Each structure stands twice: as C-alpha cells, then as structure tokens.
Amino acid sequence: MKFLSIAVAVMFLVFAASADAVDTRGIEEVRAKKVLNDADLQVIDDFVAQAVNEVLTTRDFSSISGIRSIIVASSTSSQSDQVQYAQQFSESARNHIAAALRQADTLTSDNRGFMITTNLLMLINDLTDPGLADMVFGYIDSNNDVIRYWAVHCLTDPEMLEKLDASQRAGIVRRIISRLAPVIETSDAETLGLIVTFIGSARIPESEDLLLKIADRRIVSYADWSVKYELLDGTVLQMLTKQMLSDNPDKEAVAGRFGQLLSYVFERYIKGADVLSFAQKEQLASVLVDTERLCLNKLTGKPSAAIKTAVESGDLNALLALHNDLLGDPVKPGILPEKMNFDYGKAVDGSPLTVPLPLENPPTS
C-alpha cells in the first residue's frame, strides 16, 4: 500500500543515488570466489563497516540511497553454492548496523539522528535478513511515525518472513505480534496497513487478536469521523471474512467487528455525501463494491451486485435499504447476523444489540 505522508518522507530520504565513496573493488573480487579464506572474510567485514560508516557520517543525504543499493547488491555471492559469504555478510551487517543505530540514537541536532536511523532501518528492510530483526524491535514504538513505519515494515516484510527457519518461525512471529499489539492505538493508517498484510501471512492463531484490535481501532475512527485512508478497510473486512469462514472458535466476536465496521462504511458513504472529498467517496465506494463481491457473496451464499448497482447509480436510499437488509435495523434483524449467529455487543441491561451502532452525523465544523 502506498500512502501520501510516508511517500513524501521517503522521497526526501532517498532522493538521488551517488555513492562514489564506497569502494567495491575488493568485495566484487570476493563475491566471484567459490571458496573463501580468512582474508576474504575480512574483506567482507571491512566493506560492510566502510559502507555503513558512510551512511552514518555522510552530510550529503542525497547519496544514502546509492550507498544502500550498493550494500544490498553486495550482500550475496555471485556463486550460488557459496554459503560462507552470506553468513559473514549477515554477521558483519548485524554488528556494524547495530553499532551505527546506537550512535544515531545519540544524535539530536540537525535532524541527523532521524535521517540516519530511518535510512538504516530502510537498509535492514532491503536486506530482508531475519538475522537483523532483533535490532529493529526497539523502534516499533517510536514517537516518530516514519521511524515506526520502517521498523514495522522490516518486521512484517513477507520476504523476510519466508526466510525464517521453520523451527523458529512461529516463535519469532509471536514475538512480532506481541510487540505490534500495543502500538495499534497510536499507529497511522500507513503502519496499520503493513500490520494487516502481515496478519495475512502470519499463519498462527494469535494473529486474530491483532486483527480484532485493528478492526476496533478503525471502528472508533469511523465513529468520531477521524478515519484516514478508507481503502484500508476493504482489506480489513476481507481478513475478517477469512476468519469467519474458517474453523475459528471465536466467530461471533469476529463477525460482530465485521458487521459494525461495514455498517460504518455504508453510513459514512451515505451521511458524508456532501462533506467528504471526491477521493474519500471513491475509496468508500470501492470498499463497498469489493466487500459485496469478495465477502458478502461468500458469507450469504447468494451472489449479488445490488450494492454495486446502487453505488454506480448514486442511489443512497437503495444503499441504506441494502445496509438495513444485510446488517439489521430497529424493525428487523439483518440477514448476515441471523445467518452467522452474531450480535453487535451488549446493551446496558446486558441484552444483545441486534443492530449496529449508528454513525452520528458528520461534524459541522
């Protein structure tokens, strides 16, 4: 997923690509060797040390993307059966990047600490080396949105996850989940998008709790009209649907989140017709149409394009009627809650709520 705020920051961080200061002659010779000796291993370590030091000490931040590219390009041997190279490069990267991050943490002036830390996290992300993951955990709860985004990006990257040893994968994924859970409440849409994608590839039961936390966060954002990047909720609803169609023992809790979040998407589109931007309405329309096709048709077992038709015709009354039929209104329960056997929580007296919480009208100022 691409988001404007992070994209702008990243453009600033990676602009241009001059990296003449990094000498690659020695490392290229070693990359071509089939068997390495101690001197070759030292060349690898010296190269990584020099390149990471360039990231740490440069005053020309426009050159850092080029340095990162050289490091990544040099991270593997050109000999497919050479394992010594990768092992030494990983060890050297772990040692020298960790030291550079510690030094960057001490820099407080001229924005250098932020710039260097972010570029080092981007380097770790590009290397997709599970051996580098440990040094990233401390940045997940950073107060800086860009640093937090790249820390989460490193730990949730599908390519890095696929490289995890099978015997260690579940334990590392659980550790990532435990660290991600506390930051959901303060993370922006960009970072939540990374976490949602990670949930899809985590493949362990604990990831469901993370999904429910994200759904709850998005529901609250809809309720107070502060939600950003509505397109994200199409993915959240699809992930909830997957859980509802699985052998999940907690389907009622999952389905309740699905119903409430979808209700708010409907209502935001309907009630915000005169106050939302064109882009916001387009995103909501896409979520509604895709959710009908990818979620509701599977959940109800009755293929339909009624939502798509109502959206394309601009018939808000028809869309409201579809909302009520599917999710319920004060007169009758909805098709989906009856079929999936869920409610929307409990009333003050403890009785089940059979209709979703209504969305208040948009703020007037």
Element (H, E) at 229: none
pLDDT tens track for 226-244? 999 999 999 999 999 999 9
Q: What confidence score (pLDDT) does residue 298 get?
A: 96
Mean pLDDT of the chain: 91
DSSP 177-207: HHHHGGGGGG--HHHHHHHHHHHHHH-STTH
- pTM equals 0.87
Q: Which residues contact 177 (CB under 8 A, 6 or more apart)?
A: 202, 204, 206, 207, 209, 210
Closest by CA position to 196, among listed 154, 158, 252, 239: 239
pLDDT tens track for 238-263? 999 999 998 877 889 999 999 999 99
Q: What confidence score (pLDDT) does residue 288 get?
A: 98
The mean pLDDT of 32-51, rounded to a whole number, is 96
Phi/psi at 26 (5° precision): -65, -40
pLDDT tens track for 148-168? 999 999 999 989 988 988 888
Sign of CA dihedral 216, 220, 223, 229: negative
Q: Report the share of the chain in percent with pLDDT over 70.
A: 94
pLDDT tens track for 10-36? 444 444 334 456 889 999 999 999 999
How far is it, in rounded angstroms, from Cα 279 to Cα 229? 9
Closest by CA position to 203, among listed 246, 228, 240, 173: 173
Closest by CA position to 353, among listed 318, 329, 335: 329
Longest C-alpha distance within the chain, in Å? 80
**Structure tokens belonging to residue 268:** 């935001």
pLDDT tens track for 289-301? 999 999 999 999 9
Q: What confidence score (pLDDT) does residue 128 get?
A: 95
- Length of the chain as a residue count: 365
What are the percentages of helix, strand and coil residues in the chain, rounded to 5?
A: 70, 0, 30
Domain boundaries, the chain: 1-131+147-179, 205-365
DSSP reduced 3-state for 137: helix
Q: Pick the residue with more confidence: 162 or 325?
A: 325
